Structure 1
Amino acid sequence: MPTWVAVLALAVGALALGPIGPAQAHQPVQLTSADRTPSQGPLLVDGTVSFAVYATVRKGATRGFRVGMREGQRLDIQLLVNDRPPVNRFTNAQLPLVTIIDPAGRRTSLVIDERTAFFEPYSQTAYLYLSRWSTTARSGTYQVIITGRDRSKVPAVIGVGYREVPGAVRD
Structure 2
Amino acid sequence: MRKLLITVLVLAFMASAPAYAHQPVDLLKTDTTAAKGPLLVDGTISYAVRAAFSKAGEKKGFRAAFAQGDGLSVEYLIVDKKPENSLRPTQLPTLVMTSPKGTSLTIKFTERTKFPYSGVNYLYLARYQAVAEAGEYSFLVTAKRKASIILSVGVKEIPGEVLRGAKPTPSLTPAPATTPTPTPSAAATSTPAPAPAPTKVGYTMAQVRANNSASNCWSVIDDSVYDLTKWINSHPGGSGAIVGLCGTDGSSAFSAKHGNQSRPAAQLSSYRLGPLEK
Q: TM-score, normalised by structure 1?
A: 0.82
Aligned partner of 1:15 in structure 2 is none
Aligned partner of 2:138 in structure 1 is 143
**Bigger-Rg structure (1/2):** 2
Shift of 1:25: 5.3
Aligned partner of 2:78 in structure 1 is 81
Q: Please list every run of 5 or more consecutive structure 2 residues that lacks an aligned counterpart in the other structure.
A: 1-19, 165-278
Structure 1 residue 44 corresponds to structure 2 residue 40: yes
Structure 1 residue 93 corresponds to structure 2 residue 86: no
Please give the residue correspondences for 1:22-171 in structure 2 after superposition, counting only pairs within 5 Å.
Answer: 26-57=22-53, 58-121=55-118, 124-150=119-145, 153-171=146-164
Shift of 1:85: 1.7
- Contact 2:21/2:154 (8 A) holds in 1: no
Shift of 1:32: 1.0
Q: What residue identity is the alignment partner of 1:77?
A: V
Per-residue Cα deviation, 1:112-135 (whole angstroms, up to 9, x for no partner): 1111112112xx221101111111
Q: Please list every run of 5 or more consecutive structure 1 residues that lacks an aligned counterpart in the other structure.
A: 1-23
Distance 2:130 2:59 in 1: 24
Aligned Cα root-mean-square deviation (Å): 1.2
- Contact 2:99/2:136 (8 A) holds in 1: yes
Identity, % of aligned positions: 38
In structure 2, relative to structure 1, the CA distance for the partners of 1:160 and 1:25 (3 Å cut) is closer
Distance 1:25 1:60 in 2: 27
Query: Does 1 or 2 have the higher relative contact order (CA < 8 Å, sep 6+)?
Result: 1
Distance 1:115 1:45 in 2: 30
- Contact 1:25/1:165 (8 A) holds in 2: no
Q: What residue identity is the alignment partner of 2:46?
A: S
Per-residue Cα deviation, 1:31-78 (whole angstroms, up to 9, x for no partner): 011101011100000000000000012310110000000000001011
Structure with more of its chain in helix, by fraction: 2
Shift of 1:86: 2.1
- Contact 2:27/2:51 (8 A) holds in 1: yes
